A and B are shown apart, each in its own frame.
Chain A
Amino acid sequence: MSNILQVIIVGILVGGLYGLVGLGFGLIQGVMRFVNIAQGSFIILGGFICYWAVTLLHIDPYLSIPLVMLVMFIVGVITYQLLFSPLLKYPKAEMRLDKSLLLTFGAVWIIDNLETLFWTPNSRAVITSYGGKTVNIFGAAVSYTGLIGMGLAILTAAILHIILTRTYFGKHVRAATEDAGAASLSGVNVQLTYMISCGIAVALAGLAGVVVVTNYSITPGGGIAWLLTSMVVVTLAGTDNMNFMIPAGIILGVVQSVSTLLVNPAYQQPIALIIFLLIIMFRPQGLFSRGKRLA
């Protein structure tokens, strides 16, 4: 019995991380209609920055978060300027989608291979003094790092929600998401809004990377796996909807986790992908969709 509880709780914690990963991808796809295939590679990159901060500066990995997020924000802004803003000249959404898909696919190639070149193809993980310790919840052993990861995910989702609903910037984002032209005509600097949104989305990837490197490990080629995870989450939540990312992530996490009781854990990823294929075949609008609402 406690075995099932353990599995479910682990699934929930992982699900928080999955939700976080989905937030980043969904922000770019929902707001700007660009597909960022490199989102997973950004997660790994964030993990690497954390790893090197810990290894070289001897700080606690969670203290590196501000640095990671700042660096990744800048990376996001650069990515926007170089790859996405040239695509704004195409009015058709399909062209933007296709071209952004291909361009970011190329970016994956560059990022992953740069990482391999500089830091070898080996896996890295951040080991902390409290990393292995667990806390007892209802009889299940839950790791500290897992709990922290979940906490970060929920905090991030909450902050993002507040930004989107209560700040000027957030309203600009929601307006530009619905009708970029009308937003422009109302005085919104849509390009700047897009650029900052992209920065935030990649910063979120960086944050996810910190959670990944403290709970699991990172490998230069591992980005695609996380990208696909984020897509499954985004699809489950219903695109354009940031509110349901964490719940969708948790559902995915629990289903995946429970499946390990039945199948070889090595097949966890293919199972997630099968879920993805089933969802897009039978309910492409997601589990929670109720129409276009960003927040």
Chain B
Amino acid sequence: MIGINWKTISISGLVLAIMIFVPLFINLGTGIMNQLVTLLIYILLAQSWNLIGGYTGQINLGIAAFFGCSVMVTHFIWVTGIPIVICVLVGSLSAIILAALIGIPTLRLKGMYFAVGTLALAQALQVIMQNIFNRSITTRGDYVQSYNIDYRYYLGLVLVVIVLIAIYYIRRSKLGQALVAIRDEEQAAQVMGVNTFKYKVISLLISAFIAGLAGGLYAYFRLYFYYTGDIFGLNWTFSAVIAVIIGGGGTLLGPVLGSIFLVILGYIFSLTLGQANLIVFGFLFIIVMLFLPQGLMGGVDLIRPWLSRWGKRSANKI
């Protein structure tokens, strides 16, 4: 068995403990709790995009379709009274079905067709849903009455932890190695007998499931929607992409870092810049892509030698 990195586990354990126990004992207020739940949704969405985009190298511009599909399915099953956890799972499964229908044929093609096909799917879905549900979608009165933000937070936390652990193991598995091979040198992988198509499909389906989890959580979180089209909106895709790019694609923690960055910066910007905050994100996105292609995680790698040198110097002084 590969050696257990005690340092990583203890740090993760500490962070997890903080995230579990602090909200239990300190009333952080609905504002911060809302931001935290939003953060968890973004982390899930970013991990989803990272799996198919960062690890497998297939750029999915229609992740909003999987997200939105799950939101709708989760919502409509939930209002019938079925427990939320089952609804989220069913919603996520529906995302997988959607991915299977559209994603698989487009994955077969080279070049930009997967990216554009998924973009087309998300757009089409947005238009169709906007027409079918041209009024807002409401929910049950008793759900509004019994709303407790903490439930959303802890469900989200559980989902994020499960997804992170799952991706951690995928990374080290044969599947993970195949995905990275496909990203870096697909032809070579094919020549070596790797069934690249099969692995791309698996990656897409898992990615869709995770996006579905995000969608289900969102449905649980928001309860009702004014503009149905917004659920399938391009900004969800953009948020996922920018979180991964800024955080660092192809890493486990990159999407997490990127999402934290996105939420914190978004909060600051919305206070100061208003509408312009989206524009700043656009610029940030392009600048990071051009000058820091490995994102923040790459930045950490750059700083690491300095950190260890500094650590050694301090140790010597003692």
Contact = CB atoms under 8 A, between A and B. Distances in A.
A264 B131 CA distance: 10
Contacts, number: 104
A101 B120 contact: no
Nearest to A87: B290
A269 B113 contact: no
B281 A109 contact: yes
Nearest to B274: A117
B241 A102 contact: yes
What band does the interface of chain B fall in when counting residues whose beta carbon is under 8 Å from A?
35 or more
Contact of A274 (B124, B241, B282, B286): B124
Nearest to B187: A94
A224 B23 CA distance: 41
Interface stretch (A133-141, A178-186, A206-214, A276-284): A276-284
A280 B275 contact: no
Interface in B263-294: 275-276, 278-279, 281-283, 285-286, 289-290
A267 B123 contact: no
Contacts of A225: 123
B139 interface: no
Given A110-B279, A277-B102, A280-B109, A269 B123 contact: yes
Nearest to A95: B57
B61 interface: yes
Contacts of A221: 234
A277 B186 CA distance: 24
Nearest to A114: B279
A53 interface: no
A97 B285 CA distance: 17
B127 interface: yes
A273 B131 contact: no
A97 B286 contact: no
12 contacts: A35-B112, A97-B112, A99-B289, A109-B285, A113-B279, A114-B279, A117-B275, A228-B119, A231-B120, A277-B105, A280-B106, A281-B106
Q: Which 10 A-B pairs have CB atoms at the shortest separation, nearest pair first?
A: A110-B282, A109-B282, A270-B124, A106-B285, A273-B120, A273-B124, A113-B278, A106-B286, A281-B105, A113-B279
